[in-house]
Structure 1
Amino acid sequence: MPFVIKDEDQGGNNKQHLNLSTLAYEVISSDMFTFGEEKLSGFINTVFEYYYPLAEASIGRSLNRLIGELDKCLSNIPGDEKTKQQVLERLVSQKKERLIEKAKSYESGKTFKFWLNKRNLEYLTERNSECCEERYYTKRGKYIKCVLEEYARLPYIDREKIYFSPLMEEIQAAIRDKSQLRVVTGRDVIYSVYPYDILSDPLSTTNYLVGYCTRYGNSEDEKRPCSFRISALKSIRQEKSKSAFLKASLWKQLSQTITSRGVQFLVGNETEIHVKLTKAGVTKYRRQTHLRPPFVREQDNGIYVFQCTTAQAEFYFFKFGKDAEIIHPAELRNKFKIMYEAAINTYICEGGQLE
């Protein structure tokens, strides 16, 4: 049963007061910045709409899912129906108690108000809504709070999947239908993508659309391996009239490339990167395993050779500062020089001295 609106609020009351724990409010603020959402109401409505069908905080939905799963399992087990029903009721009762206690456990923190969008307001208050949470929460605000508190305690990569659910679903549909995708990047560059999968980097910090791509409208382009950060894309649209069928050998080659490079560095060719490391640089290389390029051999004078793309070398070694000097290739060495000089200039005052 949906939440009842008082008589004086009939006709729609979408103003909602909310109190979130400090942790939840900070996570939501951080995700808003990362995902490029400026309006708090917009962000909360998006998260609630996409997550309430999955959240344990939707206690009625959670219990209904459990009953369905138990019915299926128990139907295949010999025994009398009365005993099986008692087992089901006991398990559901235990789950219900645990979820109610979990809902009560979230502390108070930041109080504010936001505006429910039409879809969420209808779900929470319309008579014909499938919402059945009023029996577990005294107020709709408490229910919304618990959904958001649960969201805030998920790993970042799962929160990203929730917020970008429509893009994720469009990609999965294209993979299932073997259709191409029209992808618009944050820089307004448009690609035709032959989707392979949605994958994350080795530390599971970001979701990527992985596959082959060509420039949009340029069917003669060579198909190149690609990986797009889903959170950085402007739009994705399935193009059902355009097949994404490719030879099995190409998909196998892509899988091998992902294994060797990781999803972040599919673009570009691998080459030998020569880096002169100090003792501190060697220590940093041994300790900093995230996106570490493969070591090939050691040469004279503290020069180490790695096999990777220049993009990976830039990402990994730039933070080493004076402890890593790029020797080869010359283009990468010059790029480091320009970036370090630009950084120094930021700290130089008008007199030409470092501040």
Structure 2
Amino acid sequence: MQESLKIKVFVSPLVRSQLEMDVQDYKLRGLGELCNRIIARFPELEPMRKGESSEELYKNCPPLQFYVRKENADFLRFAQERNFKKGTLCRHYFEEYVNLSRGDRECFLQRDLLQKVNAAIEAKENLFIGYRDAVLHVAPCFVAFSPSRVRAYLVVCEEANRVSEAFRALRISHMKSVVADPKSEAFHLSSFALSKQAELFREHFDPFLCYGKEVLVRLNETGIDLLRRAVTNRPPFERVKGLDGVYRFQCSEKLAQIYFPQFLENAEILSPQSLREWFLTRFQKAMVLYRKA
């Protein structure tokens, strides 16, 4: 891709560090690509006002340098028309970008793909989505965020025999391509049960799509103590009356596979059976590994 004007931007160490982390997290080619993607969408960010930014505050900060791509000519024209220094204007938009929540930054960088997603939702069509190392044929349902907008997700529906297996939440930052499939009706609109489930997930969203799903677990005293302390990814739970040490968790199998391995022998998965068998298989493999030692 052709490049043109080279710009030197003095930014704070905090802003530079966040930009560098985003380059790594979103697997971009470098700071130049990220900087160009930010200024390409400058109208979506809070505008800079005259006299708002002082070069004196940043004179001791090491400069960030990148080439402005020719397709970002509108940004250069805007700076010239407003009589803004290009480096100062870039710094303002970099700071505005960094001040967005992480989930909002993911959506900001994936705006072109999300526009195609929203068009498919409006048209009630399925999509082919390049996701990580696979291509998924899915119906987009809605965009949602984790608590504090730390992650952005696209909830989709796949063709499946059971409603419980049809939905998944995709990380928006991992989407690589979006192609419309106008020949097929959105999967989740093909039945009342699927469309109802999509609405329930929208109303009660969590990244693991736990709403309406239950896992029964028997804990010993050590397990009960660990349950009180292990709060990361802990699903909502209640003690089952009349059953000693048995707890009911509002939890998908995917979340259970992440949360409960730390309990080892202090927790027994009672149901669903498919999850119980998953743990049985994993512990058997671990047993074989340790017996070899």
TM-score range, shorter chain: 0.7 to 0.9
Structure 1 residues 43 and 324, CA, compared in 2 at 3 Å: closer, same or farther?
Answer: farther
Residue 177 of structure 2 is matched in structure 1 by: 235
Give, in whole Å, the separation in 1 of the partners of 2:56 and 2:167.
45
- The answer to whether residue 141 in structure 2 is matched with residue 196 in structure 1 is yes
Give, in whole Å, the separation in 2 of the partners of 1:124 and 1:289.
43
Give, in whole Å, the separation in 2 of the partners of 1:301 and 1:229.
39
Structure 1 residues 235 and 268, CA, compared in 2 at 3 Å: closer, same or farther?
Answer: farther
Match of 1:316 among 259, 263, 278: 259
Give, in whole Å, the separation in 2 of the partners of 1:341 and 1:112.
52
Residue 87 of structure 2 is matched in structure 1 by: 141
- The answer to whether residue 275 in structure 2 is matched with residue 295 in structure 1 is no
Give, in whole Å, the separation in 1 of the partners of 2:56 and 2:181.
44
Give, in whole Å, the separation in 2 of the partners of 1:136 and 1:340.
66
> What's the TM-score, normalizing by structure 2?
0.78
Equivalent residues in 2 for 1:180-329 (5 A)?
Answer: 180-188=126-134, 190-214=135-159, 224-244=166-186, 246=189, 249=192, 250-259=194-203, 262-266=205-209, 270-276=213-219, 278=222, 279-284=224-229, 288=231, 290=233, 292-295=235-238, 297=240, 302-318=245-261, 320=262, 325-328=267-270, 329=275
1:169 is displaced (CA, Å) by 0.9
**AA aligned opposite 1:103:** S
Residue 16 of structure 2 is matched in structure 1 by: 25
Residue 154 of structure 1 is matched in structure 2 by: 100
1:21 is displaced (CA, Å) by 0.9
Gaps of 5+ in 1: 1-11, 60-98, 216-220, 346-351
Match of 1:111 among 60, 63, 67: 63
Give, in whole Å, the separation in 1 of the partners of 2:285 and 2:144.
31
Give, in whole Å, the separation in 1 of the partners of 2:219 and 2:245.
5
1:198 is displaced (CA, Å) by 1.0
Q: State, as a whole percentage, how many aligned pairs show the same letter.
A: 22
Residue 8 of structure 1 is matched in structure 2 by: none
> Cα deviation per residue 1:40-79 (whole Å; 9 max; x = unaligned)?
11111112212x01222x34xxxxxxxxxxxxxxxxxxxx
> Cα deviation per residue 1:284-320 (whole Å; 9 max; x = unaligned)?
25xx2755243352676644342422211122334x4
Equivalent residues in 2 for 1:3-22 (5 A)?
Answer: 13-22=4-13
- The answer to whether residue 74 in structure 2 is matched with residue 123 in structure 1 is yes
Give, in whole Å, the separation in 2 of the partners of 1:248 and 1:118.
48
Q: Which structure's relative contact order is higher, taking Cα pairs within 8 Å and 6+ residues apart?
A: 1
Equivalent residues in 2 for 1:314-353 (5 A)?
Answer: 314-318=257-261, 320=262, 325-328=267-270, 329-334=275-280, 337=283
- The answer to whether residue 35 in structure 2 is matched with residue 48 in structure 1 is no
Give, in whole Å, the separation in 2 of the partners of 1:29 and 1:315.
29
> What's the TM-score, normalizing by structure 1?
0.66
**AA aligned opposite 1:292:** P
How many positions carry a matched residue from both structures?
277
**AA aligned opposite 1:155:** S
Gaps of 5+ in 2: none
> Cα deviation per residue 1:208-261 (whole Å; 9 max; x = unaligned)?
11132239xxxxx7772232111112211223343337257332222224545x
Give, in whole Å, the separation in 2 of the partners of 1:298 and 1:30.
48
Residue 121 of structure 2 is matched in structure 1 by: 175
SS in 2 for 1:116: strand
- Which stretch shows the higher mean deviation, 224-233 or 330-339? 330-339
1:338 is displaced (CA, Å) by 6.9
**AA aligned opposite 1:119:** E
> Could you say which structure has the larger radius of gyration?
1
Equivalent residues in 2 for 1:54-133 (5 A)?
Answer: 54-56=44-46, 58-59=47-48, 99-100=49-50, 102-104=52-54, 107-108=57-58, 109-120=61-72, 122-125=73-76, 129=77, 131=78
1:180 is displaced (CA, Å) by 1.7
**AA aligned opposite 2:90:** I
**AA aligned opposite 2:31:** L
SS in 1 for 2:159: strand
Structure 1 residues 305 and 13, CA, compared in 2 at 3 Å: closer, same or farther?
Answer: closer
